[in-house]
Chains A and B, each alone.
Chain A
Amino acid sequence: MFSTPLVIQVYKYMSLQEDILGTGVWHMQQTSVEQLKQHAIELRKTAVTMVYEAQSGHPGGSLSAADVISALYFREMNVDPANPKWEDRDRFVLSKGHVAPIQYAALALRGFVSNESVYTLRQYGSPFQGHPDMKKCPGIDISTGSLGQGLSCAVGMAIAGQRDEKDYRVFAMVGDGECQEGQIWEAIQAAVKYKLDNLIVFVDNNRLQIDGFCEDVMPLLDLEKKFDAFGFDTTRIDGHSMEHIVETLDTFAKQKNGKPKCIVCDTVKGKGVSYMEDQAAWHGTAPNKEEFELAIKELEGGLPV
């Protein structure tokens, strides 16, 4: 396993390489599945630590989203930590903004922000607000937090890219519970109308929301079928299988066929920390010292494959 400082050093070196080559583009296709798995563990540890330090935040959904976030930030997305507002960058919209800790962890590991700074999460003056704030934090493409709204913003970014004939892509992550919001379906309609094959939507299908199982609170039925019926190219994968995530990003997500893409990721809320797994109570609860130490120990033990 990489120690965090070493990882950051490695990326700094890669940034230098990029400058020397003058490509303007940072391709990370060489990042192996094994490395992505290790990064995902690091992201989980950082996110849980952030929430523990703040004694506030959302660990459950951060952990369910970690593997996709790892694949996006360390392999798939064309972004430049030295120039976070680079106009040709790929965009990422965390529509389920409450899982900001996992995105902040990725921004730190990727070198957008310093590794230590993220532990100011939710403190006064911190760039790491309770929900992502594009004005305060480098690498945040749009402020989110009120569920159901981010996907529309992603559609706007994708339309702009299409009209400007740019190659960038827009990745968005929505929660399954979030799909109870009507605006999500408005955004989906627009994405299909405008043939946004530069838009890739991940549904973090962890089956839980604050009040319990989505199935009990407001059943979402089969989200894969619903996105498909609305006109998306849709697939469904194990959202904790790095092999599946990478394969889907390499093939399915890259089709330029005039259709937006949806990847329904079956995930487990709290994944990697046994006592948080599948527990709605860990949606927005911070661990105490004992719980935190156990969480780190379990995460360091690695995820069962």
Chain B
Amino acid sequence: MSVTKKAVEKKATRAAFGDEIVRLGESNKDIYVVDIDIGKSCKTDKFIEKFPMQHINVGIAEQNGAGIAAGLATTGKIPFISTYAVFGSLRMAEQIRQEVCYPNLNVKIACSHGGLTPGNDGGSHQAIEDMGVMRSFPNMTVIMGADYHSTRKLIAEAAAMYGPVYLRFTRDAVPMIYDENETFEIGKAKQLRDGEDIAIIANGDTVRLAIEAAEQLEQNGVSVKLLDMHTIKPLDVEAVKDCLDIGSIITVEDHNILNGLGSAVAEVIAEAGKGQLARIGVQDRFGESAPYEKLLEINGITVENIIAKANQLLTN
């Protein structure tokens, strides 16, 4: 794979949704968007303009939005419910369980404002447990792309597969990592580096931090294997098992360290009975109003902490 060297350009991955859903809507009239009032913020405005007959806005009524999407799906439509992660995973959680996952309907839940990215909005709007909640539902696939291009590709893959998918995007701009020709497969980790001393498994907006940490570790003679685990369910178990011989694994995520990527990887490690793990992520605490980068820092989701944890594991 090729990592874009000049990682200067930044785009929010919610913009990837806004762009990709238009492309999908053009080629498939069964693609629907179910907005829950916040279409502008979730970037569905271009879709609304081009495909009003494939668009529904239910107003501030998440539970109904999920049910309507399920009803649409029974007729062969492919609805994308668009909202913020905290609402898409929690306010409509039971509706997704009962009416989407239980009957295994082809509904996609596309959520902006994942993790700590809605920093200034405060803890009420920061979705730190969403992927864990979604990971608990049978039939559900759970994805967060690392940047604009990978997110677009993963949205396209989600539309092409049958079944419920939870897609999580950033509110804030994050650096472009991949070039637009890179391909992605749901459930298959993207290896960014191969190495022998330590494995770092990251996803979403923290992949950029893991890349930087890996570069610095390499400069200090530490050989790093780096995986972008964009899909936490189904987890690429083989890719995690391939890290077990290295022995030391660090997970990095913009999510509670409970129930997300770190937990999913820990399950594999524990069952294999080998390897040691350090989980970097939200420290099981609610956020508060602050710049996104500050919130990451408070939780130790930083390049420095990844390096520190790596050194700690290597001296164990």
Contact = CB atoms under 8 A, between A and B. Distances in A.
B67 A187 contact: yes
Contacts of A148: 63
A95 to B, nearest CB: 10
Interface string A17-37: 000000000000000000000
B98 A190 contact: no
B12 interface: no
Interface stretch (B68-76, B218-226, B259-267): B68-76
A151 B64 CA distance: 9
B61 interface: yes
A293 B53 CA distance: 55
B67 A151 contact: yes
Interface residues of B, number: 29
Contacts of B64: 152, 155, 183, 186-187, 189-190
B58 interface: yes
Given A133-B103, A142-B103, A189-B61, A156 B71 contact: yes
Interface in B52-86: 53-54, 56, 58-59, 61, 63-77, 79
A185 to B, nearest CB: 9
Contacts of A157: 71-72, 74-75
B121 interface: no
A159 B59 CA distance: 15
A187 B64 CA distance: 6
Contact of B74 (A141, A183, A186, A189): A141
A160 interface: yes
Interface residues of A, number: 35
A291 B71 CA distance: 39
Contacts of A142: 70-71, 74, 99, 103
A149 B54 CA distance: 22
Interface in A152-205: 152-161, 163-164, 182-183, 186-187, 189-190, 193-194
Nearest to A188: B64
B58 A186 contact: yes
A194 B61 CA distance: 15
Given A134-B103, A186-B61, A189-B59, A87 B75 contact: yes
B75 A161 contact: yes
Nearest to B53: A163
Contacts of B71: 142, 152-160
A212 interface: no
Contacts of B170: none
A133 B65 CA distance: 21
B256 interface: no
B65, B75, B76 interface centre (most CB from chain A within 10 Å): B75
A178 to B, nearest CB: 13
Contacts of B61: 183, 186, 189-190
A146 interface: yes
A262 B32 CA distance: 27
Residue with the greatest number of chain A CB neighbours at <10 A, chosen from B67, B69, B70, B72: B67
A145 B102 CA distance: 11
A143 B95 CA distance: 11
Contacts of A186: 58, 61, 63-64
A135 interface: yes
A153 B70 contact: yes
Interface centre among B61, B68, B72 (most CB of A within 10 A): B68
Contacts of A150: 67
A44 B139 CA distance: 36
Interface in B71-119: 71-77, 79, 94-95, 98-99, 102-104
A156 B67 contact: yes
Given A161-B75, A163-B53, A153 B99 contact: yes
Contacts of B74: 91, 134, 141-142, 153, 156-157
Contacts of B59: 189-190, 193
22 contacts: A135-B104, A142-B74, A142-B99, A142-B103, A143-B98, A146-B94, A149-B99, A152-B63, A152-B66, A155-B67, A155-B71, A157-B72, A157-B74, A157-B75, A159-B71, A163-B53, A182-B63, A183-B63, A186-B64, A190-B56, A190-B58, A190-B61
| Closest CB pairs A-B (n = 5) | A156-B71, A152-B67, A186-B64, A153-B71, A186-B61
